[in-house]
Amino acid sequence: MDVTAYVVLSGILFTIGCVGVLIRRNAIVVFMCVELMLNASNLALVAFARQHGNLDGQIAAFFVMVVAAAEVVVGLAIIMTIFRTRRSASVDDASLLKY
């Protein structure tokens, strides 16, 4: 089966996510872009699994989802805490941990 279209879509989604992470300041948006990247990679995994005709890639996609869920829990908690103390969700404001 030809999976080219899926892989191209996955690449476009990943690039959007990646650019979003790099240029947006709002932590929530950055977070959503990270999720976008994760799902783009999931799409690539599933597409290649279909091409190879086995389930390895699909299993890996489940793992990514579990990790993403855990990451959302921790990440949102951190973002909330920062927002409570600094009244801002900008990732550039939280830059105290440096040289």
**Residue in 1, 22, 66, 74 binding another protein, rule: CB under 8 A:** 22
Q: Contact at 8 Å (CB) between 91 and 79?
A: no
Amino acid 9 reads L
CB atoms within 10 A of CB 83: 15
Q: Does 87 engage in binding with another protein (CB under 8 A)?
A: no
Which range of residues in 1-9, 15-23, 47-55, 78-86 is near another protein by CB under 8 A? 15-23
The DSSP element (H or E) to which 11 belongs, if any, is helix 4-23
Q: Using the minimum distance from each CB to another protein, give the nearer residue, 87 or 98.
A: 98
Segment interacting with another protein, rule: CB under 8 A, options 5-13, 18-26, 52-60, 64-72: 18-26
Can residue 96 be called a binding residue for another protein (CB under 8 A)? yes
Which residue(s) pair with 26 in the sheet? Answer: 90
Q: Are 54 and 65 in contact (CB under 8 A)?
A: no
| Closest CB 96 distance from another protein, rounded Å | 6
φ, ψ dihedrals at 98, nearest 5° = -145, -170
- Kindly list the residues in this chain that would bind another protein in the complex (CB under 8 A): 18, 21-23, 30, 91-92, 94-99
